[in-house]
Structure 1
Amino acid sequence: MVKFGYTILYVADVEKAIVFYENAFGFSRKFITPGNDYGEINTGETTISFASKKLALQNLKEGFIESSLEDKPFAIELGFITDNVGDLVQKAISFGAVLATEPKKKPWGQIVAYVRDPEGFLIEICTPVQ
């Protein structure tokens, strides 16, 4: 059996990233290492984790493509489900997210919007699929 355990985002400042997700989305901190190079937040069954770019380079000696607001987002997103997309988008923006796409109703009835976190990672904010 395989279980999806977590997604790790490589960030410049782990503490700052965790504070953004706590404030913008209401997630709670699971833990952060004493050196502030790795941390996790509680998001439900699957955890979002953060590793400093310095720590990531210890594991990936040849480097990696860094996320940045100056570049297009990666072809991957975090998806957060809510009953009120517009309110959550505005809350996220108030804590430093950047609007990528206004809320839009899809043909199947779902409301979907996109923001980018301060590190440039893409976040979908949507209603549940009916």
Structure 2
Amino acid sequence: MIKFGYTILYVEDVEKSIEFYENVFGFARKFISPDNDYGELNTGETTISFASKKLASHNLSEGFIESSLEDKPFAIELGFITEDVGDLVQKATSFGAVLVTEPKKKRWGQVVAYVRDTDGFLLEICTPMHG
């Protein structure tokens, strides 16, 4: 059996990134390494993890493309489900997220908005899918 365990975001400051997700989404930290180069949040069955760019450069000797608010977002997003998209978007932007797309109702009835977190990663904030 294979299980999807976690997504790791490469960030400048692990502690700062974890604090953003704690403040906006209410997740609790699961672990931060003593040298602050890796951390995890309790987010349910699949964990959001953070590794410092320095640690990532040791693991990926040929380098990687860094996320940055100055560049377009990667072609990947993290999705967060809530009943009140507008409220969560406002909360995220109050903690430093950048609004990309205001909440919009899709033709299938779901409300969806996009923000970028403080490290530039694209986040979808949406209502649950019904049907």
Please classify the TM superposition score into its range, dividing by the shorter chain length. over 0.9
Q: How does 1:21-40 map to 2 (within 5 A)?
A: 21-40=21-40
Check if 1:61 corresponds to 2:58. Answer: no
| Number of residue-to-residue matches in the alignment | 130
Return 5+ residue gaps in structure 2 as ranges. none
- DSSP 3-state at the match of 1:39: strand
CA–CA separation in structure 1 for the residues paired with 2:124 and 2:2: 25
Instruction: Tell me the distance in 1 between the aligned counterparts of 2:28 and 2:7.
Output: 16
Gaps of at least 5 residues in structure 1 are: none
Q: Which residue of 2 aligns with 1:4?
A: 4
| 1:41 aligned partner | 41
Percent of pairs with identical residues? 82
TM-score w.r.t. structure 2 length? Answer: 0.98
Q: Which residue of 2 aligns with 1:79?
A: 79
1:78-117 correspondence runs (5 A): 78-117=78-117
The CA distance in 2 between the partners of 1:114 and 1:46, in whole Å, is: 21
SS of residue in 1 equivalent to 2:76: coil
2: distance between equivalents of 1:117 and 1:62?
A: 26
Find the counterpart in structure 2 of residue 70 from structure 1.
70
Q: Which of structure 1's runs of 4+ aligned residues deviate more than 6 A?
A: none
Q: CA deviation at 1:24?
A: 1.0
Cα root mean square deviation, aligned: 0.4
Aligned match of 1:19: 19
Q: TM-score, normalised by structure 1?
A: 0.99
Query: Secondary structure, in 3 states, of the residue corresponding to 1:102?
Result: strand
